[in-house]
Amino acid sequence: MTRQYRPFTVRGDGLNDNAARHYEFSVLGMLHSFDAMLTTRALMKGFRAAGRDVLVVPYDFSDGDCNAASRSEWGLFPNKVYYSPDIYYPGGDCIDPGDAGNSAHEVLCHELVHALRRGAKTWNEHTKKGDEERLAIMITNIFASETNKPALRKNHKGHDPEKDPALTTSDGYLSAHRAMVDLFVRQHIAVATDLSCIDTHFNPIRAYFRGRCAPAWTPAAFQPGKNVFR
């Protein structure tokens, strides 16, 4: 059985009936809750603008025991997210109290950033090596900051918290990764505009727009290289 929420189709592939039902309702509940948070609401709007459906299915453990994945594949749903929330529930094997970015909601947020970029066809477009993971971590850290998480994730090598004081501030992170942030803003101006309005302690997108909401851009009004705060 499949269940849908906006551009997302959730399907408990490989699970028995009861487990599949539990999985589908768990993921649907998380997607519903994402509409209540500003960071993930911006991503949801990005999916609607891209006009690409996303299939969410249980994680297949092909990339290790504690992971999730976003992939482009052939078929009815070329944009797929492999994700199982239960392995990231408190007390599970994939949770360490000292880690950052590995709650069930943060892991799904991370994969949705990847899926959004795949759906919008900006994945690996003009990015440098490692930027796709850095972008997903940056936006998930904005989400973590919005939800009052005590730590921000450092990098994709694990879930260690960032301890460099400069990189835990919006201005410091922007200074270190301005080219990447600038590219994301240009590629996803509508999403970036929404993200810029989130006034929380870590938000390099807001810092990019000098600590305020970006103007309400339209595709016709936005020209690369112009109309961007410096």
| pLDDT tens column, 144-181 | 999 999 899 999 988 999 999 999 999 999 999 999 99
Domain assignment present for residue 228? The answer is no
CA distance 83 to 87: 9
Q: Are 211 and 174 in contact (CB under 8 A)?
A: no
Q: List residues bridging with 55 in a β-sheet.
A: 9, 80
Domain count, the chain: 1
Distance between CA 54 and CA 12 in Å, rounded?
Answer: 14
- Between CA 23 and CA 18 the distance in angstroms is 9
Q: What's the pLDDT at 229? A: 44
Q: In the numeric block, which tokens belong to residue 124? A: 């690996």
Q: What is the CA radius of gyration of the chain?
A: 17
Query: What is the length of the chain?
Result: 230
Confidence of residue 217 (pLDDT cuts 50, 70, 90): low
Residue 78 counted as domain residue: yes
Q: Smallest Cα–Cα separation from 85: which of 46, 138, 34?
A: 34
Average pLDDT over residues 44-60: 92
Strand partners for 153 = 161
Residue 224 pLDDT > 50, yes or no? no
User: How confident is the prediction for the chain on average, in pLDDT?
Assistant: 91
pLDDT band at 225, cuts 50/70/90?
Answer: very low
Domain holding 66, by residue range, is 2-208
Mean pLDDT within 91-109: 91
The answer to whether residue 220 is domain-embedded is no
Is pTM beyond 0.75? Reply is yes
Helices (H), the chain: 17-34, 38-50, 104-119, 131-146, 170-176, 178-187, 189-196, 204-208
Structure tokens at 116: 């959004």
The predicted pLDDT at position 1 comes to 76
**Is residue 230 a part of any domain in this protein?**
no
Torsion of CA 206, 100, 168, 42, to 10 degrees: 0
Contacts of 164 (CB under 8 A, 6+ apart): none
Distances in Å between the Cα of 153 and the Cα atoms of 100, 121, 136 are 5, 26, 11
pLDDT of residue 97: 80
Any domain includes 216:
no
Does 92 reside within a domain?
yes
Whether residue 134 is contained in a domain is answered as: yes
Confidence of residue 142 (pLDDT cuts 50, 70, 90): very high
- 219 inside domain: no
Nearest partner of 80 among 60, 59, 55, 44, judged by Cα: 55
Distance of alpha carbon 134 from alpha carbon 132, whole angstroms:
5
* Token pair in block for residue 76: 């009815």
CB 58 within 8 A of CB 43: no
